[in-house]
Amino acid sequence: MSFLTSLALLVGLLAAAPLAAHLLRRRRADVITLPTASLLVKTPPTVRRRSALEDRALLAVRVLSILLLALLGATPFVSCSHLALARKDGASVAMVLVVDDSMSMRARGADGKTRFDRAKSAALDLARAAEPGDSFAIVLAGSPARIALAPTTDLKAAESAIVALVASDRSTDLDAALSLASDLLSDARQIDKRAVLLSDLADANVAGPVLDVPESISLWYPIADLESKLVPNCGIIAANRLADRVTVGVACSQEATAARQVRLIAVGKTEPIATAELLPGATSVTFDVASDLESELDAFLEGGDAIAEDDAAPVVPAASGMAIGVVSDAAATRVQTGGRPPVEQALTALELGSTVRSLTSAPEHEADLTPLAGLILDDPPGLTPEERGAIKKWVERGGLLLIGLGPRASTAPLGAGFGDLVPGVVRFTSGGPKGAKPQACAFFGESAEALTELAPRGRTSLEPDALEGAETLCLFSDDRPFLIKRPMGRGAVFVSLLPFDLETSDLPLRPAFLALLDRFVEAARGKGSSRDVSAGQAFAFPGAPEVAGDLMTIGSKDPIRLLPNKVAGSVRVDAARIGRYRFVIAGEPDVRFAHVAESELNLSPRLLAPRSKDASLGGEARKLDISAHLALALLGLLVIELAVRALSAGRAASEKTAASV
């Protein structure tokens, strides 16, 4: 503390002066008894009571005035952490606030505030410090990245939009969010353009390129300590029930080494119906429950970690009576050890709760396909017109088709092609590149890494018509498609450019083959739209004229009303939170589920361009000048004292007049 500050604070001791004067004024006067006083009528000492009240009011005003005067001289600044913007030559600024609303931003600091709370507070600081001419936009970095506020100079609207932001359970997509921010800033008229990144940088892509924006735009990362710290964290990524068995999948960060307990609790109850210990390094636990137990179940991971919200998930019951049809030539896809074709053996080994139906040929009538949730065709020698027509109608109604194309498909006889299912000519060629690109095969999850060693004897190629409008799920090492998904009506067609037999390809020997079948069956459970998705994905209802629904989050008793959107004629509902989504579609109930994405459990921060921490752009200000506020308060006390004095004078005059009368 400086000498001048100490001297100014000593002025506060003068607050004792009004108190001393008040006490002297209140001193009891000497009493002199007059002989004639007995002839007077006694009156209540009202004047003395009013004087005492007046003295106390004036005393308080004067003491406060002296204390404020001391503070005004001693502490013109107070410590207050807020985000301050440094302008270039005082010019207006165009800013896009990239706010991360993903699950990892729910991690709490030592002060009890979440990372999202800090990011939101920083965004409000910037909006409230803006000046006329500044432009604001908001991009949310939770996957999928989206625009929450288009560029506007209406600062009140920007502030209101920030206040309305809420955290979600999504995964993170910083690359797409910064790309959106760059696009919005490219059309800004201001010279000073800034993409303000308010994120913990935890997007599970540590090996990805350094986060940056074009050179014409300033990338600003204003809160350095918001960057994710490597702390222990675990979460429930899946919870499924098949008859009398419940399997709960758990993923943890590398820093998590302690044993945890997993509990199953019936919805609406507090006591667990089963408890199991999750040992360090384990990825799942299994519970045995009564097969006739009809209660809905939730799974909970006990014990604290960085994020509490990912420690609970709804248990997804297996769809009853679901069947997957398989058409595979037993002779062409023989296994040296004998037994059924690889596709059927893999589906049985996965124990996905579905019935595998072996078919000798593709059904020619739509009625034969109705009981099936999914159909797998392993290198079929083309399809007859009747087979194509029946399968096409079935897919359009919501069925899922998986075709593995190989040498037999390329030699289909005349008139036995694939029609709209796979448009164009199918060609199989020997040789080709070795393996696939793991970074372009996220569909296979962790098993994508093993695809680098894939060594097929050949592969299939498609014409551009077959790829038009299709989603590429995996690429070969030379960037040609390996696995695509073609939407068709309410369903979809998955096309693998490798067959599922061991003579042509070693794909059935790779873990990725099991992952392919697992994801196909899961998607088939929802008849073309998965019943259980990662938070941030959407539920689609193609062809449904109207959809109504509510969300029940884990542990909540009050449902959250859902607002469906129409995208390209299809009704979609964004699953931003973990929980149960209860819909009514054409009068029929439909329950779907959302769980946390495994990628959000990795809290390792992404590398950021060094220029993003340039101090010349601004930063957190630790002091705030309050001199003006203290001066106004002091002026207000002066006005109050004058008012009290005027009121006192008016009362005294009234009493004098009354006494004279």
For residues 212, 217, 222, 223, the Cα torsion angle rounded to the nearest 10 degrees is -30
Share of the chain above pLDDT 70, in %: 78
Q: Of 2-11, 164-173, 477-486, which range is least confident?
A: 2-11
How sure is the predictor about 52, in pLDDT bands with cuts at 50, 70 and 90?
very low
Residue pLDDT, tens place only, 575-612: 999 999 999 877 778 888 999 988 898 888 999 999 99
pLDDT band at 301 (very low <50, low <70, confident <90, very high): very high
Q: What is the pLDDT of residue 529?
A: 46
- pLDDT of 60: 74
Report for 221-230, 324-333, 574-583: range of highest mean pLDDT:
574-583
Residue 348 has pLDDT above 70, yes or no: yes
* 525 pLDDT higher than 50: yes
Q: What is the pLDDT of residue 621?
A: 60
Instruction: Encode pLDDT of 190-222 as tens digits.
Output: 999 999 999 999 998 888 899 999 999 999 999
Mean pLDDT of the chain: 82
First-last CA distance in the chain: 62
Residue 357, pLDDT score: 84
Average pLDDT over residues 478-483: 92
How far apart are the C-alpha atoms of 100 and 172, rounded to whole Å? 7
Q: For residues 322 and 532, give the distance between their C-alpha atoms in angstroms, rounded to a whole number.
A: 15
Q: Is the pLDDT of residue 624 over 70?
A: no
pLDDT-wise least confident of 492-501, 532-541, 629-638: 629-638
For 236-275, write each residue's pLDDT tens digit. 998 989 878 999 999 888 777 788 999 999 998 989 999 9
Q: What is the pLDDT of residue 287?
A: 95
pLDDT score at 627: 64
For residue 144, say if its preceding peptide bond is cis, omega within 30 degrees of 0: yes
Reported as a pLDDT band with limits 50, 70 and 90, residue 34 is: low
Going by C-alpha positions, the residue among 444, 452, 443 that lies closest to residue 476 is: 452
Enumerate helices (H) and strands (E) in the chain, giving the number of each.
Answer: 13, 32
Q: What is the pLDDT of residues 411-441, one digit of tens each?
A: 878 778 898 999 988 999 988 778 899 989 9
Report d(CA 352, CA 371) in Å as an integer.
17
Reported confidence tier of residue 288, pLDDT bands at 50, 70, 90: very high
CA-to-CA separations, 635 to 64, 68, 628, in angstroms, rounded: 11, 10, 11
Least confident residue range of 211-220, 312-321, 443-452: 312-321
The pLDDT confidence band at residue 528, using thresholds 50, 70 and 90, is very low
User: Residue 469: which region, alpha, beta or left (left: phi > 0; alpha: psi -120 to 50)?
Assistant: left
Mean pLDDT of 42-57: 54
- Confidence label for 74 from pLDDT (cuts 50, 70 and 90): low
CA distance linking residue 119 with residue 140, whole number of Å:
11
Place 50 in a pLDDT band, splitting at 50, 70 and 90: very low
| Model pLDDT, residue 58 | 65
- Mean pLDDT, to the nearest integer, of 636-642? 72
The pLDDT value recorded for residue 393 is 87
Q: Strands, E, within 331-408: which ranges?
A: 355-359, 372-378, 400-404
